[in-house]
């Protein structure tokens, strides 16, 4: 059974056909996934109040029901370190179609992965993991399985990635917390089973994995 808070967020999003990022992040946070600290500002005072709480550097992102792909409209500013840059970003976002707010989030470091789900007509929820970021459809270094995943499936999926070596530490880079990554995958697959009647597809992109943990940094839930 879905928690009531989650069903409410999904119900509220139905009119857009997808879940706005702040709500999607709340859904994952409520479901036990780690997310960076974040809040949403609509004006300058609110933005400054939020950033005092989170602390620089932060990332600023457009929230708009009309913008599914934020990068395409230059709706993401990473590495914001001062009030001036933050307020300039806000002023610019306010001009973007459908602006309802600016999401301000703590910056996290790590290897950029994508974890996703698609509700397949023949096979139901399918889970994907791979190298994330904006280049995901260029490199296509991904692995797919039918949900729910057993821990062994999660192992096999990561073994299939060409970039597997980057996960275990390559040429001096730090290895990611594989146990946390596998746990994230398995739990995500279970959540997707619970959501299969309402969700069409999900991108968690990127999921930032570092030696300590895996955080869902950005999420997009497309509804049926």
Partner 1 sequence: MNLKPLFEPRTLAVIGISSANERHPANVIFEKNNHRYPVEVFGVNPKGGKLHDEPLYERLVDIPKKIDLAVIAARADFVPDILTECIRAGVKSAAIISGGFAEGGRQDLQDRMVAVAREAKFPFLGPNCLGLFVPFRVDTFFLPIERMIKPAPGNVAFISQSGGILVDQMIKFTQQGVGMSKAVSIGNKALIREIDLLKYLLSDPVTKVIAFYVEGFAEGEGREFVLAADCSPKPVILMKSGKSAAGHRAVSSHTASLAGDYASFAAAIAQHNIVEAANEQELVSFCEVLSSYTKPIDGRIGIITGSGGHGAMAVDAAAVAGLSVPEFADDLKASLQNGLNPSIRSIASMGNPVDLTGSALDDDFVACARTLAASPEVDCIIVLLLPYLPGVTLDIGVRLSQVQKQFKKPIIAYVPHVEKYNMMIDGFELNGTPVSPSIEGAVLMAKGLMRKKPC
Residues at the interface with partner 1 (CB under 8 A): 18, 68-69, 114, 116-118, 120-124, 126, 128, 130, 136-137, 140, 142-146, 153, 200-203, 205, 220, 222
CB-based contact 2:9 (threshold 8 Å): no
Q: Are strands 18-19 and 219-223 parallel, antiparallel or unpaired?
A: antiparallel
Burial bucket for residue 125 (CB in 10 Å: 0-12, 13-18, 19+): buried
Q: Can you tell me which residue has the tokens 């960076």?
A: 36
In the complex, the smallest distance separating the C-beta of residue 194 from partner 1, rounded to whole angstroms, is 16
Per the structure block, which two tokens stand in for 36? 């960076």
Q: Which is nearer to partner 1, 101 or 148 (CB)?
A: 148
3-state secondary structure of 147: coil
Q: Can you tell me which residue has the tokens 């009119």?
A: 15
In the complex, the smallest distance separating the C-beta of residue 4 from partner 1, rounded to whole angstroms, is 26
Q: Can you tell me which residue has the tokens 């997707």?
A: 192
Q: Which is nearer to partner 1, 18 or 38 (CB)?
A: 18
In the complex, the smallest distance separating the C-beta of residue 220 from partner 1, rounded to whole angstroms, is 6
In the complex, the smallest distance separating the C-beta of residue 86 from partner 1, rounded to whole angstroms, is 28
Q: Which is nearer to partner 1, 21 or 153 (CB)?
A: 153
Q: Which is nearer to partner 1, 36 or 130 (CB)?
A: 130
């Amino acid at each position: 059974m879905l928690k009531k808070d989650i069903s409410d967020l999904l119900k509220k999003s139905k009119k857009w056909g997808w879940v706005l990022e702040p709500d999607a992040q709340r859904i994952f946070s409520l479901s036990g996934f780690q997310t960076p600290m974040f809040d949403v500002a609509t004006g300058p005072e609110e933005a400054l109040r939020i950033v005092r709480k989170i602390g620089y550097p932060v990332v600023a992102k457009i929230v708009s029901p009309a913008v599914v792909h934020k990068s395409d409209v230059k709706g993401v500013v990473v590495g914001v370190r001062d009030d001036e840059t933050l307020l300039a970003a806000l002023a610019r976002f306010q001009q973007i179609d459908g602006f309802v707010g600016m999401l301000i989030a703590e910056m996290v470091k790590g290897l950029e992965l994508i974890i996703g789900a698609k509700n397949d007509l023949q096979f139901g929820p399918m889970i994907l993991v791979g190298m994330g970021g904006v280049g995901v459809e260029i490199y296509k270094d991904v692995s797919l399985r039918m949900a729910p995943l057993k821990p062994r499936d999660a192992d096999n999926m990561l073994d299939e990635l060409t970039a597997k070596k980057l996960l275990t530490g390559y040429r001096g880079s730090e290895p990611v917390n594989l146990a946390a990554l596998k746990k994230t995958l398995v739990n995500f697959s279970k959540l997707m089973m619970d959501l299969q009647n309402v969700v069409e597809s999900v991108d968690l992109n990127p999921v930032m994995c570092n030696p300590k943990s895996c955080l869902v940094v950005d999420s997009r839930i497309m509804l049926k």
